[in-house]
Chain A
Amino acid sequence: MFSKRMILVALVIVLVAVNIILLTITGKHTQAPSGLGRGALVIVSPFQKQFTAFFNSVKDTWNQYFFLVSTAEENQRLKKALGQSLEQLNRYSETEIANDRLRHLLDFEKVIPRPMIAAQVVGKDPSAWSKTIIVDKGTRDSVRQGAPVVIPEGIVGVVVEASARYAKVLLLTDPNSAVDALVQQTRARGIVKGGGADFCVFDYVLRKHDISVGDMVVSSGLDGVFPKGFRVGRISEIVRQNAGIFQKVSVTPYVDFEILEEVFIISEPDYESPPGES
């Protein structure tokens, strides 16, 4: 009744359909099913670490011996920047003391600092369609899924998968990323989402809020992932359409994701047990 060729074609169509359905299911999750992603981290990442270490040592040797000429100039520039930073730090110290005193007067709860774990970037996602990095710290170092990752310049991303020694970090620029944020000057709130390329989109900012290009965007702390006040980026474009209640805002992250080498993973705060509690 059916030729062999027809059966083969039908079989291929069924297999393609099943394949697309399975991919649609896995596409809804950022984590790999049944720990298969962790398996890849366990097998491949140790080699990535050795390879990255070797590559970095070659790069350091090159930088140290062949680019010493520019060091003196850079030293001058850094000394000047350090002087400015010290002056700024002094002002901030004064503000912090005043802040502590006022919080104490108002009987605010004490902010518990969260410990940070330093990690080295050992690998990056080769695909142009997803933005992730692999770092050399895992569950053995108290790194958990959902832990925020930062550097002094700003927010890097969030841990999406962790094996014992390695973890996968979803970068801020990936379309799956989202950070609850606010504009530092005007306190206009919204959600910063990854734009895919080297920018982010600041969604749900009401039209009534007066914001301008160059304003700093910081984390609001309301998403329960990123602590309040971490730098996200700078507003680079604003489009106020005639219709709609929101404005279209683009944000350029402070972090240069192309040259990331070390990051800090923020772990859970160490809550001290009250005296008498076992």
Chain B
Amino acid sequence: MIYGYHLMLCLFLIIFQTTLLVGGGTVHLYDLLAPLVVYLGVYHLPRRAIPVLVLGGLAMDGISGGVFGVHLTAYLWMYVGVRWAIQFLQVDNVILLPLLVTAGIVFESLVVAFSAVVLASAPWPVESMFPVVSAQVLWGAVTGPFLMLFFIRGQKVVDRASKSFYAEKSPLRKP
């Protein structure tokens, strides 16, 4: 059930940011999947997170016209980084969790910007990097933690639903 929740969340975020949010004035919107990757890194083991990261990364790379594989790369390295960071960070802290989300958005924005400025066949000028990345980070720092809270709340609802579903199916259940 949790796999379904993560995949639905991933698909919803991709569709949301490629249809509704474009052309609405948010020119430098950050990738909404970055907070999802941080959430997966904090709360889920690789066997639950990696399939979602790979599918989400490939879908984003397929839709985007940038360097193919850059989103997949960013998501996987970000996940590894978050798993490493939570070994010594108390992520339940109200300050550290938003900071971790913002750090994830900074990392993702820098990786994509680096690919556009250095690796692309027709690279962007380096000076265009600063305004785009800073705007994305600002947006991300303000809204990213709220997205994270939304994911956590959603997970609690799914966990409750799945527990009650399996409790009803259980052969040990008293009639």
B17 surroundings in chain A (CB, below 8 A)? 126
Does the CB pair A40–B68 fall under 8 Å? no
CA distance A126 to B27 in the complex (A): 9
Which one of A32, A129, A134, A174 lies within 8 Å of B112 (CB-CB)?
Answer: A129
B119 surroundings in chain A (CB, below 8 A)? 20, 23-24, 27
Does the CB pair B67–A27 fall under 8 Å? yes
Stretch binding the partner chain, chosen from B42-50, B55-63, B152-160, B165-173: B55-63
How many residues of chain A have a CB within 8 Å of chain B? 49
| B22 CB within 8 Å of chain A | yes
Shortest Cβ distance from B121 into A: residue: A28
CA distance A47 to B32 in the complex (A): 17
| B120 CB within 8 Å of chain A | yes
CA distance A155 to B130 in the complex (A): 30
Stretch binding the partner chain, chosen from A48-56, A72-80, A135-143, A239-247: A48-56
> Distance (Å) between the CB of B114 and the closest chain A CB?
9
A193 surroundings in chain B (CB, below 8 A)? 122
Which one of A22, A126, A129 lies within 8 Å of B29 (CB-CB)?
Answer: A126
> Distance (Å) between the CB of A270 and the closest chain B CB?
30
Does the CB pair A128–B22 fall under 8 Å? no
Does the CB pair B122–A125 fall under 8 Å? no
Does the CB pair A23–B65 fall under 8 Å? no
Which one of A36, A55, A194, A258 lies within 8 Å of B62 (CB-CB)?
Answer: A36
Does the CB pair A40–B62 fall under 8 Å? yes
| A83 CB within 8 Å of chain B | no
| A43 CB within 8 Å of chain B | yes
Q: How many A-B residue pairs have CB under 8 A?
A: 142
CA distance A114 to B73 in the complex (A): 42
Does the CB pair A126–B64 fall under 8 Å? yes
| B19 CB within 8 Å of chain A | yes
A43 surroundings in chain B (CB, below 8 A)? 59
A44 surroundings in chain B (CB, below 8 A)? 11, 14-15, 18, 59, 62-63
B28 surroundings in chain A (CB, below 8 A)? 128
Interface string of B90-128 (1 = CB under 8 A from A): 000000000000000000000011011001111111001
Does the CB pair B68–A128 fall under 8 Å? no
> Distance (Å) between the CB of B18 and the closest chain A CB?
4
Does the CB pair B121–A51 fall under 8 Å? no
Which one of A41, A124, A129 lies within 8 Å of B116 (CB-CB)?
Answer: A129
Given A27-B119, A128-B136: A38 touches B62 (CB 8 Å cut-off): yes
CA distance A194 to B128 in the complex (A): 14
Which one of A23, A39, A51, A196 lies within 8 Å of B124 (CB-CB)?
Answer: A196
Interface string of A15-41 (1 = CB under 8 A from B): 000011011101111101100111111
CA distance A48 to B174 in the complex (A): 46
Using a CB–CB cutoff of 8 Å, the interface residues on chain B facing chain A are 11, 14-23, 27-29, 31-32, 58-70, 73, 77, 112-113, 115-116, 119-125, 128, 132, 136
Other contacts beyond A23-B70, A29-B68, A175-B124: 15, CB < 8 A: A20-B119, A27-B120, A40-B62, A44-B18, A44-B63, A126-B22, A126-B31, A126-B32, A127-B64, A127-B66, A129-B115, A134-B63, A168-B63, A258-B23, A259-B23
10 contacts between A and B (CB under 8 A): A22-B69, A23-B69, A27-B115, A37-B62, A51-B15, A55-B20, A126-B29, A128-B29, A193-B122, A196-B125
- Please provide the 4 A-B residue pairs with the shortest distance between their CB atoms, ordered closest to farther: A40-B62, A132-B65, A129-B116, A130-B65
